[in-house]
A and B are shown apart, each in its own frame.
Chain A
Amino acid sequence: MSALPGRRRARRRFLAATLWFLAGGLPVARGLRNSPGGLEACLQRLADQVPGSAALGRCYLQERPVEASAAWLARELFGDDLTHARDGDIHRIIGNRVGDGRASDYRNGNLVVLQGWLLTQTEARLLALLSLRTS
């Protein structure tokens, strides 16, 4: 991020994603409730609604390249919960896992700093997954 305009764009995207998380994390999105296509579509819709998420996720992975595997991140975030889940249940499972993960992260001090903002590890990994899925 050497050029000022590029940096400003990155900050805009970054702040957008952060504000989205600020608002309470992963909402029960009416639009996602009957989302067809399972996890991929669910994640794509999340990425579409918060354009900054991919940039945030890439920022996270730049500092942690060993985590740059969509499969690994999905396992870390969701375990096996999605393996046999119906498409219609995926958003709820994601919401619950992210919510639980976030609460645990705050309790245990698992925060990461991205451009000064303190996000939970769970949120940061979700953004990283979004960035890999949409790249």
Chain B
Amino acid sequence: MLLDFREAATRATFEADLCVIGGGAAGIAIARELSRTRHSVIVLESGGLAFDPDIQALYKGTNTGGGFSLDATRFRMLGGTTYVWGGWCAPLDEIDFSTRDWVPYSGWPITRAALLPYYERAQGLCELGRYRYALSDWPGLADEALVLDPEKLEHKLWQLSPPTRFGDAYADELRRARNVTVLLYATATEIVTRENAAYVTEVRITNLDRMRATVRARAYIIACGGIETPRLMLASNRVERAGLANSHDLVGRFFMEHPHPDAGGVLLASATALAPYFDRQEEGEYVVLGLGPSERAQRRLSILNSSIAVRRPLQSEPSEGWDSLVKLSRAFRGGSWPDSAGTHVYNVLRDLDDVLREGYRRSRSGPIQGYAFMARTEVAPNPANRVMLVEERDALGMRRVRLQWSPGTLDRVTVEKTMRLVAEELGRLQVGRVRINELLLEEGQKWIENLGWFGHHMGTTRMSSDPRVGVVDSDCRVHGIANLYVASSSVFPTGGYANPTLTILALALRLADHIRTTALA
């Protein structure tokens, strides 16, 4: 059922077997899994069914690294940030789970194989078909794709969700679920533990109408995302002054995002060579094929994982200059020099300003001359990148957040070296000529001016078997607290290049199974 906390009795107490804090993708996934059981579940969602600017303002904070604002890249409503989700789905790669000696703090305490069954189940939540992320799973695409040197590049593949807005898609199902209560307009402001801080006894909630209530459960899951999860834990400092489970000063640290630099582009020798790499429908599914450094290349070059996807096609209105360029290109491919070569070169040079403009401007029609590339890179986990609390408080009296972080040199070098690999392969295969965004070549932080951000907030309650370097264990249980868990990208020790939603859902489903057989058994 869906309840509005604003209409509840004053000083109410809610009780359930399981309390899920956060009604985003992870929280909804867990609630759905347990809706078919005998256990009672309460989901606390700060917002309502629709966007509310006053509720959204609770997300305001400071980002010292710039580039994105904290209240524009995450959303407080049922369904959470799927409200603006682009739908890109891909699993993490094998190497993302491994300990890499050139990446400090790398390594997950679980294997990709352990997560695979949950990836497969997560597909359906995103309204996708079968779990198929290898190029060989798509024979039609494989036939057209480039044959890459495995020492350098490999294919990366995404499936595109419609995208699924989790609030819209699952509200009715949750409304009908007899053992699930979704409490809207209920913001958790404190998690209360026993004196020894080893067991959660209740969660305190409030709303903009200053109503207060308490939620008591046998087990609790924080599913608030990569920034709000540590915020709640840091704010819950009644027993431990540094915040919940923060005796090793890890909560909020190791923040990661996926920088998306405009990486450059390619001017094609063949207009159709990269057609398979632009969004396409294959066997009824929307897929995107991209490129990235192979595992061997990552190890050889000591770089992180990343991906290059073709984005905007570079089209032009036909002009003499472009027309001459095309004729020159075709003639040279055939091994001959056109009779009027001098004229053609002159045409290109004469129109060169137009060629330059049109080459990097999208227009409605005209032949495709090339593609712009968008990169998406892993960032190296760095404890100095962190979420902290400041003294300023929001309308509910909760301390606001300051995000202090910056991408590092290895992140930039990863994109630079990946683009070089792309240039080598596209050159070898006579596909075209690559241009790299020169900001990627400059040392220092200038490249940050060129970055796009997509709300992939990860790492701030990272997973590790060792409580000295992790906040949660391999079951996503908070170290030292018997009945508190986290379902969020905040548990990622490393982020890979892949958009995090599919992995968030896989981990949430795995946690639901675990909770059902342990804490709720």
Contact = CB atoms under 8 A, between A and B. Distances in A.
Interface of A: 8, 11-12, 15-16, 18-25, 27-31, 49-52, 102-103, 106-107, 109, 111, 113, 115-118, 120
Contact of A27 (B332, B435, B437, B441): B332
B424 A111 contact: yes
Nearest to A103: B428
B204 interface: no
A19 B325 contact: yes
Contacts of B335: 24, 27-28
From DSSP, what is the main secondary structure of chain B's interface residues? helix
Contacts of A11: 356
Nearest to B149: A107
A116 B438 contact: yes
A113 B433 contact: no
B434 interface: yes
B269 A109 contact: no
Interface in B380-436: 419-421, 423-425, 427-428, 430, 432-436
A118 B423 contact: yes
A23 B352 contact: no
A118 B437 CA distance: 11
B53 interface: no
9 contacts: A15-B352, A23-B328, A24-B333, A28-B335, A29-B337, A106-B425, A115-B438, A117-B434, A118-B423
Contacts of A103: 428
Contacts of B267: 18-19, 22
B309 to A, nearest CB: 18
Contact of B424 (A12, A49, A106): A106
Interface stretch (B17-25, B116-124, B283-291, B340-348): B340-348
A21 B435 CA distance: 13
Given A11-B356, A28-B335, A109 B424 contact: yes
A12 B332 contact: no
Nearest to B438: A116
Given A16-B349, A27-B337, A30-B336, 17 more contacts: A15-B352, A15-B355, A23-B325, A24-B430, A27-B331, A30-B339, A31-B337, A107-B424, A111-B420, A113-B438, A116-B435, A116-B436, A116-B438, A117-B434, A118-B419, A118-B423, A118-B434
B269 A24 contact: yes
B353 A118 contact: no
B312 to A, nearest CB: 17
Contacts of A18: 267, 433
A22 B269 contact: yes
List the 7 closest pairs (A to B, CB-CB), nearest first: A24-B332, A118-B423, A23-B332, A106-B428, A22-B433, A12-B352, A106-B427
Interface in B248-267: 264, 267
B432 A22 contact: yes
A116 B345 contact: no
A49 B352 contact: no
A51 B423 contact: no
B450 interface: no
B111 interface: no
A20 B345 contact: yes
A118 B428 contact: no
Contact of B441 (A8, A12, A107, A113): A113
B25 to A, nearest CB: 39
